[in-house]
Amino acid sequence: MKQIWDSIAGDNATLPLPEWQKAELDKRLADYRTTLGDLHPATEVHEQLRRDYK
């Protein structure tokens, strides 16, 4: 199994990526960058969930 994953990882730079997929990744990256201020650390989110659903 490790050999299979290693071969995939070694070849991933040569795998074609369709234009629609590149566009979607660009959109998601732009969305991520514009909402950085809205993000909360996972520990904070977990604590809030524990308080809310105790």
pLDDT digits (tens, 9 = 90+) for 13-48: 677 889 999 999 999 999 999 988 888 999 999 999
The answer to whether residue 11 sits within a structural domain is: no
Residue 35 lies in a domain: yes
In a domain, 31, yes or no: yes
pLDDT of residue 19: 96
Instruction: Kindly report the pTM of this predicted structure.
Output: 0.50
pLDDT of 2 above 80: yes
User: Positive or negative, the Cα torsion across 12, 14, 19, 23?
Assistant: positive
* CA quadruple 25, 30, 34, 50: dihedral, nearest 10: 0
Question: How many domains does the chain divide into?
Answer: 1
Q: Which domain holds residue 38?
A: 18-54
| Residue 36 domain-assigned (yes or no) | yes
Residue 46 lies in a domain: yes
User: What is the C-alpha to C-alpha distance for residues 12 and 32, in angstroms, rounded to an integer?
Assistant: 24
Is 13 contained in some domain? Answer: no
1 in a structural domain? no
